[in-house]
Amino acid sequence: SAYGVWVSEIMLQQTRVEAVIKYWIKWMDSFPTVHSLANATPEEVNAHWAGLGFYRRARLLHAGAKRVVDEYGGIVPNNVDELMKVEGIGRYTASAIASIAYGVEVPVVDGNVCRVLSRLTGIANHIKAPVMKDDLGWELAEKIVKARSSSASTKADDKLGTPGEVNQALMELGATYCSPAGSGIDANDPLVEFYVSTRLGRAIGHVTNSEDGATRDRIEELVAKGAFGTDKNKSRCRLCELNGASNAFYSISDRIAADLSTSPNVKLETVSAIAGHACLPIPPPKKAKREEVLAVAVISSRIADDDQLRWLMVKRPSEGLLAGQWEFPNVEVWTSAKADGKKEKKDKAKSKAAIEVPIIDPTKRSKALDSFISGILDEPIAKKKRKQIKDAPITHIFSHVCHTMWIEYNHLDEDIALNKRWKLENGREAGWMSEDDMKDVGITSGVHKILAKVK
Catalytic residues, which ones? 9
**Which residues neighbour 130 within 8 Å (Cβ) at sequence distance 6 or greater?**
none
Nearest to 62 by CA among 26, 89, 82: 89
In whole angstroms, give the CA distance from residue 299 to residue 316.
17
**Strands 401-411 and 290-302, how do they pair?**
parallel
The greatest distance separating any two alpha carbons of the chain, rounded to the nearest whole angstrom, comes to 89
Phi, psi (deg, nearest 5) at residue 246 = -70, -40
Residue 166 CA neighbour count, 13 Å, CB half:
26
Pinpoint the alpha helices (H) of 267-361: 268-278, 336-339, 341-346, 348-352
DSSP letter for each residue of 65-111 = HHHHHHHHTTPPPSSHHHHTTSTT--HHHHHHHHHHHH--------H
- Report how far apart, in Å, the C-alpha atoms of 251 and of each of 68, 121, 124, 214, 282 are: 49, 18, 11, 21, 9
CA distances to 25, 66, 95, 244 from 36, in Å: 15, 10, 24, 49
* Residue 97 phi, psi dihedral angles, 5° rounding: -65, -45
Cα separation, 279 vs 194, in Å, equals: 17
Spatial CA neighbour of 357 closest among 298, 448, 399, 294: 294
Taking the C-alpha atoms of residue 403 and residue 296, their distance in angstroms, rounded to an integer, is 11
Cis peptide before 281 (omega within 30 of 0): yes
The span from the CA of 85 to the CA of 159, in Å, is 34
Q: Give the start-end residues of each E strand in 318-400.
A: 326-327, 330-335, 387-388, 394-397
Listed in sequence order, the residues at least 6 apart from 110 whose beta carbon sits closer than 8 Å to its beta carbon are 92, 171, 174
DSSP secondary structure string for all residues of 417-454: ---SEEE-TTS-EEEEE-HHHHHHHT--HHHHHHHHHH
